[in-house]
């Protein structure tokens, strides 16, 4: 009996998508995106909670199409964007003529695959283990950049987003940024589909969703337990569990050999990485920062939050070799978040960057 259990456990571990966000993270991503939707949209999903949760978990537990859970812009690897476009087409055809339960499930399928495009690189490449408790153990700040106009070309949009995404560091410090970008893409895609279906939609301003570390722990342990039990109880019911295991193993091995960088190079980059140091008395806090040099350009992305109780009139970012501030944030209100996203000269390093702020307004 013990041998049989060990064999089933081995199959369970081999067939689960260990290189993507766990379902508890997908659940919270979807909840955060729902919070950004119009009241009528929220009502549709909250009234069909069972189908929402099913749509969040099915891609990992039922469909299991692992190559469709990622897309790497530089090589074109992964079927994530194609899968997203197919689900969008289904939703467009059913939004006004199908049952709300079916539409709700399809919207959550869509949210799952969009979220997986933002899987942390070390998890995808399997150079670091997946964090099944990410949403419980981390401070998560979603900076919603607002919605001004619908997405015009789905394929081009997600290819461009993927190119931007793969200019980020592999460091753990940017995981909350990846989470935030995933929520932005889910919400932006949903709002576009909502508008295309004939609903009236006003432009949305930027806003912030803040989760303190340890605050997102309701039912997550139970959800993970249910997820494990599903796989344990159903592994013997698969049409061909041997083929499922073989396919998952091959896909994982391919990712390790073809996508992961050389280990020595990865370690060297990690050790050389330096975070921007801010005065502990400064009224702002650097949430995440990423600086990656590709070719003759260095791509710098950061998020900063006003942690004071007053408005910061201006916050200027400067670096040697660039005349004047390369980025300026003005009138950052108490508690607000702003994003820095720019290109610097090749060879720029974080320790060269200075952040100069004007005293907060009294």
Q: Please state whether beta strands 297-306 and 337-345 pair in parallel, antiparallel, or not at all (unpaired).
A: antiparallel
Using DSSP, state whether 222 is helix, strand or coil: helix
Structure tokens at 228: 């494990």
Distance CA 343, CA 267 (A): 24
Which of 338, 341, 23, 24 minimizes the C-alpha distance to 165? 341
Q: What is the 3-state secondary structure of 133-155?
A: CHHHHCCEEEEECCECCCCCCHH
Q: Which domains does the chain have, with CATH numbers?
A: 2-259 (no CATH), 274-357 (2.60.40)
Name 244's Cβ contacts closer than 8 Å, sequence gap at least 6.
11, 15, 64, 238
Asked whether the beta carbons of 357 and 321 are under 8 A apart, the reply is no
Q: Please count the other Cβ atoms lying within 10 Å of the Cβ belonging to residue 247.
A: 17
φ and ψ at residue 205, rounded to 5 degrees: -85, 165
Reading the chain (362 residues) residue by residue, the pLDDT tens digits are 444 434 433 333 344 455 788 888 998 999 999 999 999 999 888 887 777 788 888 998 888 898 999 999 989 999 999 999 999 999 999 887 767 778 888 999 999 999 999 999 888 887 777 777 888 888 899 999 999 999 999 999 999 999 999 999 998 889 999 999 999 999 999 999 999 999 888 888 999 999 887 676 544 444 444 444 444 455 444 445 555 556 555 655 554 444 444 454 444 444 433 334 456 678 899 999 999 999 999 999 999 999 999 999 999 999 988 888 999 999 999 999 999 999 999 999 999 999 888 876 66
Distance CA 199, CA 300 (A): 37
Distance CA 245, CA 168 (A): 32
Q: Please count the other Cβ atoms lying within 10 Å of the Cβ belonging to residue 80.
A: 22
Task: Record the pTM.
Answer: 0.80
């Amino acid at each position: 009996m013990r041998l049989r259990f060990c064999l089933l456990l081995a199959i369970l571990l081999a067939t689960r998508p260990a290189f993507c966000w766990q379902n508890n993270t997908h659940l919270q991503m979807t909840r955060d995106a729902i919070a950004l939707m119009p009241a009528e949209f929220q009502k549709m999903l909250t009234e069909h909670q069972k189908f929402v949760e099913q749509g969040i978990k099915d891609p990992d537990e039922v469909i299991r199409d692992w190559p469709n859970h990622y897309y790497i812009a530089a090589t074109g690897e992964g079927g994530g964007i194609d899968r997203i476009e197919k689900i969008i087409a289904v939703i467009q055809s059913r939004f006004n003529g199908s049952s709300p339960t079916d539409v709700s499930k399809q919207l959550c399928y869509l949210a799952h695959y969009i979220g997986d495009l933002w899987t942390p690189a070390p998890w995808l490449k399997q150079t670091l283990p997946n964090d099944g408790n990410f949403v419980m153990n981390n401070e998560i700040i979603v900076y919603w950049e607002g919605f001004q106009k619908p997405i015009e070309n789905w394929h081009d949009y997600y290819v461009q987003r993927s190119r931007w995404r793969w200019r980020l560091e592999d460091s753990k410090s940017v995981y909350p940024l990846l989470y935030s970008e995933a929520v932005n893409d889910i919400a932006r895609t949903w709002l576009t589909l909502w508008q295309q279906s004939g609903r009236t939609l006003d432009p949305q301003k930027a806003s912030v969703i803040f989760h303190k570390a340890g605050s997102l722990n309701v039912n997550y342990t139970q959800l993970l337990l249910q997820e494990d039990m599903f796989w344990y109880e159903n592994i013997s019911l698969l049409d061909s569990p041997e083929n499922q295991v073989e396919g998952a193993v091959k896909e994982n091995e391919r990712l390790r050999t073809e996508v992961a960088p050389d280990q020595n190079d990865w370690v060297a980059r990690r050790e050389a990485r330096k975070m921007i140091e801010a005065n502990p008395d400064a009224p702002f806090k650097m949430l995440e920062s990423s600086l990656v040099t590709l070719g003759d350009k260095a791509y710098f992305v950061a998020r900063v939050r006003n942690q004071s109780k007053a408005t910061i009139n201006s916050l200027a970012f400067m670096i040697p070799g660039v005349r004047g501030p390369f980025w300026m944030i003005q009138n950052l209100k108490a508690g607000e978040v702003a994003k820095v996203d720019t290109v610097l000269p090749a060879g720029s390093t974080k320790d060269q960057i200075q952040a100069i702020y004007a005293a907060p307004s009294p």
